[in-house]
Chain A
Amino acid sequence: MQKLIYSGLIGAIFGLGIAISGMANPAKVLNFFDVAGSWDPSLIFVMGGALLTTALGYRLVFGAASKPLFDAEFHLPINKIIDARLIAGSATFGIGWGIAGFCPGGAIPALGFGGVSVIAFTGAMVIGIVLARALDGLRHKPAKAF
């Protein structure tokens, strides 16, 4: 139960950070990428702030503890291979992000205040994940959980 309460609070910090930063605002996100047009460089500060804080935070966490408070181990991705699947998937994600202006981390917090636009985006995104997983499952064993 304690783990769930903390998870909810940590999610709340994430959602608030996303919302005030502008990552949940498609107009701002698209302007960040529109260097040739109405460029708004704000998102550099989001990425920079998040990256530096996380890099520092992870160092502190991994330095101070051998395991997390509510789990037996740190679940860190061990795959180190840069393959076509990673690059093609990431490029595909970028195309969708450039069309819609929402990324997954931007869309979820926006569900709380954004209305029909973000609901349509998120619904389609979930369908996209389901379709990709089904397609993947036809070719391989079901993909491992994240």
Chain B
Amino acid sequence: MQARRNDACRCAAKMIKRDEMMETEFTPWLSLAGGVLIGLSATLLMAMNGRIAGMTGILTGIIPPFSTDWAWRIAFLAGAIVAPGIYLFAGGEIAYAVPVSLPLLTLGGLIVGVGVYYGAGCTSGHGVCGMARLSPRSIAATATFMIATAVTVYVVRHIAEI
């Protein structure tokens, strides 16, 4: 670890920045519980509304021109935004850190927007709902974006060292 740090760091500021982005706690049970809740939500949305719980699809329907069934989409999104706040207010804890600068977040956001539009889905739509249905398109899409993300993280962190 020490040797690695010496290699990786060319100045003190960089070392602090790199240390910040390192190490998040391994949380198998909490993450599993969160995953089960996501799956429960996907199941209920299919049972009630007959819809795939894909964030790209739900969100795109309320970006003008609105789809005709915009109302349930707004309700779903509002619930998703408000719930973590209520959980925090009730004394729950949510680990959260953003080791990415604002310009890169904005660039990343733009690229994600274009990508999920053409790819017709994201982690929730393809990665969870589509994979659960064994959809060949979703399996191909998920494999593609997981590999692309891993390669990008490797380039950003270990080659470009942004």
A99:B75 contact, CB within 8 angstroms = no
New A-B pairs, 12, CB < 8 Å, besides A12-B79, A124-B108, A146-B67: A13-B83, A14-B83, A49-B36, A57-B47, A70-B49, A82-B140, A109-B81, A112-B81, A121-B106, A122-B109, A124-B113, A132-B117
* B55-72 with Cβ < 8 A to chain A: 55-61, 63, 65, 67, 71-72
Q: Which of B38, B133, B157 contacts A18 (CB 8 A)?
A: B38
A69:B48 contact, CB within 8 angstroms = yes
B22:A38 contact, CB within 8 angstroms = yes
Listed A/B pairs (24) with beta-carbon separation below 8 Å? A10-B41, A12-B83, A13-B37, A13-B41, A15-B80, A21-B30, A24-B84, A36-B158, A40-B26, A42-B28, A48-B32, A55-B132, A57-B44, A77-B120, A89-B141, A94-B144, A95-B152, A96-B108, A104-B123, A123-B109, A124-B108, A143-B117, A145-B61, A146-B61
Q: Looking at B23, B25, B48, B57, which has the most chain A CB atoms within 10 Å of its CB? A: B48
The number of chain A residues touching the other chain, given as a range, is 35 or more
In the assembled complex, which residues on chain A have CB atoms less than 8 Å from the CB atom of B9?
none
In the assembled complex, which residues on chain A have CB atoms less than 8 Å from the CB atom of B23?
31, 38, 40
Q: Which of B65, B78, B107, B133 contacts A124 (CB 8 A)?
A: B107
Q: Interface residues, chain A, CB within 8 Å of chain B?
A: 3-28, 30-31, 33-38, 40-43, 45-58, 60-61, 65, 67-71, 73-77, 79-82, 85-106, 108-114, 116-118, 120-133, 136, 142-143, 145-146
A35-B115 contact, Cβ under 8 Å, with A43-B31, A68-B48: no
CA distance A112 to B88 in the complex (A): 10
B118:A102 contact, CB within 8 angstroms = no
Closest 4 CB pairs of A and B: A128-B113, A21-B34, A53-B39, A49-B35
